[in-house]
């Protein structure tokens, strides 16, 4: 019983390779069932996301099983076997457990601390449970991975700070305004990055969306897409009288909003706070505007700096998370090893029970006249002796990490347990 992980991710394979390996839609279930059918595989789970494709299995012989899984992968996706070798990584046993825990805690993600991966892992497990392709090992591994991820989330601040430009923009907006759903937002220009940031801001909920662009048609199209209202470019300053958040990326070579214009705007809007994000390069908003009271101007470099600081913080937190993973790997290992001793422990217990029963029968036959109470007392004592006698070897088998096989053999020999019989059970 050994855990095995075979997979590829954003670090080992480009997107064009990753998409070839993806198990999307109905392919996932087909793949999962086919994988489980392999004679070397006892349990199986497939995790397939845009950044990684990983196959988790419970196998007896990792060497044989990995070969067989590689062949399965190349056949299933119709890719040459050689093409696989460079992209794939293989983790066995304790390293496999560590890898799954790191994936669940998003320590192996492109953006450390991103929350989506845990959900994706839960979904993959859910499907495997539904299709009954898992058993004792992978069930435990997955449940443990989920609890490790939760522990990492509660004990570290790994996911606390925004690490993308658009997230940073939203986080900042929330520190300026109490309730974004009461705020009016304007997108100035139609740069790709600004559009992305705008979409993110809109999903967090703003009251009204305005779109302004030099080409009015483009503004209308984008306004349509963002469920907002198009504004003629010449009128955007007028609209700033009621706009609270502005994202700007027009591609203009000069400033489209100057300090004096903004001062007038602020006077008219009675100094109500404004948050302006200038993503354009070269900048479209006069940086001097930031000096005006209640105006908060951030450009792309400012936001990048916020993101970089947050990433640095996350890396520090990731170190703490790795220590949590190490701890949990150890407890998982203990559990797994205790599982290996189950047949010996079971056989030992049976042997003891058998002896107890025989001796009890003999004794009770010799004492025909005793009452029920005395009988119970004798049985109670016999049980106590058996339990006390087999407790130390059982505990040693469960706890010992090294020489487990030797210990198991010694116990079998000492108590006269037939090894093969108990293995079968």
Partner 1 sequence: MEVILFELALTFYFAATIISITELFKSSKITSKLIILLAGIGFILHTINIIYRYGISGYIPITNPHEATSFFTWCIVVLFFILEFRYKVALLSSFIMPIVFLLMISSSMMSREIKPLAPVLQSYWLGIHTFLAFLGNAAFAMSFGIGFMYLVQEHYVKSKRLGGLFERLPSLQTLDEMNYRLITFGFPLFSLAIITGALWAETAWGRYWNWDPREVWSLITWFIYAIVLHARLVAGWRGKRAAVLSIIGFITILIAFFGIKLLKRGLHVFL
Cα separation, 220 vs 228, whole angstroms: 9
Cα separation, 368 vs 346, whole angstroms: 33
Give the residue with the Cβ less far from partner 1, 178 or 254: 178
Instruction: Tally DSSP H helices, then E strands, for the chain.
Output: 17, 10
Instruction: Give the position of tokens 């892992």.
Output: 121
> Helix (H, G, I), strand (E, B), or coil: what is residue 246?
strand
Q: Is 220 marked active-site?
A: no
Give the residue with the Cβ less far from partner 1, 38 or 292: 292
Give the residue with the Cβ less far from partner 1, 183 or 351: 183
Give the residue with the Cβ less far from partner 1, 153 or 412: 153
Cα separation, 417 vs 411, whole angstroms: 8
Give the residue with the Cβ less far from partner 1, 9 or 161: 161
Q: Are 246 and 186 in contact (CB under 8 A)?
A: yes
Nearest partner of 241 among 231, 254, 226, judged by Cα? 231
Q: Are 249 and 276 in contact (CB under 8 A)?
A: no
Catalytic residue among 22, 38, 50, 292: 50
Sites of contact with partner 1 (CB under 8 A)? 160-161, 172, 174-178, 266-267, 269-273, 290, 293-294, 296, 298, 302, 305-306, 309
CB of 180 to partner 1, least distance (A): 10
Burial of 124 (0-12, 13-18, 19+ CB in 10 A): buried
CB of 230 to partner 1, least distance (A): 28
Distance of CA 245 to the CA centre of its chain: 33
CB of 332 to partner 1, least distance (A): 29
CB of 224 to partner 1, least distance (A): 31
Catalytic residues: 50
């Amino acid at each position: 019983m050994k855990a095995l992980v075979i997979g590829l991710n954003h670090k080992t394979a480009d997107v064009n390779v990753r998409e070839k390996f993806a198990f999307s839609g109905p392919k996932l279930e087909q793949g999962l069932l086919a994988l489980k059918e392999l004679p070397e595989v006892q349990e199986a789970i497939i995790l397939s996301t845009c950044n990684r494709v990983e196959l988790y299995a419970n196998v007896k012989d990792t060497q044989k099983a990995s070969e067989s899984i590689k062949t399965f992968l190349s056949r299933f996706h119709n890719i040459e076997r050689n093409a696989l070798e460079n992209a794939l990584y293989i983790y066995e046993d304790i390293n496999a457990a560590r890898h799954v825990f790191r994936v669940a805690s998003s320590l192996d993600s492109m953006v450390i601390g991103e929350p989506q991966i845990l959900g994706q892992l839960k979904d993959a497990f859910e499907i495997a449970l539904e299709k009954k392709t898992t058993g004792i090992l992978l069930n435990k591994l997955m449940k443990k991975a989920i609890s490790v991820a939760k522990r990492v989330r509660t004990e570290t601040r790994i996911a606390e700070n925004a690490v993308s430009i658009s997230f940073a923009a939203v986080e900042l907006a929330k520190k300026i305004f109490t309730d974004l759903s009461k705020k009016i937002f304007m997108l100035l220009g139609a740069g790709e990055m600004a559009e992305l940031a705008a979409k993110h801001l809109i999903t967090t909920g703003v009251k009204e969306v305005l779109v302004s662009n030099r080409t009015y048609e483009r503004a209308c199209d984008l306004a349509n897409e963002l469920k907002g209202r198009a504004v003629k470019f010449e009128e955007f300053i007028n609209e700033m009288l009621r706009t609270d958040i502005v994202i700007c990326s027009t591609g203009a070579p000069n400033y489209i909003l100057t300090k004096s214009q903004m001062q007038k705007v602020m006077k008219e809007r009675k100094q109500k706070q404004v948050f302006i994000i200038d993503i354009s390069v070269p900048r479209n908003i006069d940086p001097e505007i930031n000096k005006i009271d209640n105006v908060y101007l951030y450009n792309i470099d400012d936001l990048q700096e916020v993101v970089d600081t947050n990433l640095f913080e996350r890396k520090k937190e990731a170190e703490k998370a790795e220590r949590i993973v190490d701890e949990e790997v150890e407890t998982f290992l203990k559990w797994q090893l205790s599982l290996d001793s189950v047949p010996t422990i079971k056989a030992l217990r049976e042997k003891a029970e058998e002896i107890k029963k025989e001796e009890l029968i003999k004794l009770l036959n010799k004492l025909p006249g005793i009452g029920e109470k005395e009988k119970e007392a004798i049985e109670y004592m016999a049980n106590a002796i058996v339990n006390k006698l087999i407790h130390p070897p059982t505990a040693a088998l469960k706890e010992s990490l090294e020489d487990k096989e030797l210990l198991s053999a010694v116990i079998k020999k000492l108590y006269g347990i037939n090894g093969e019989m108990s293995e079968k059970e």
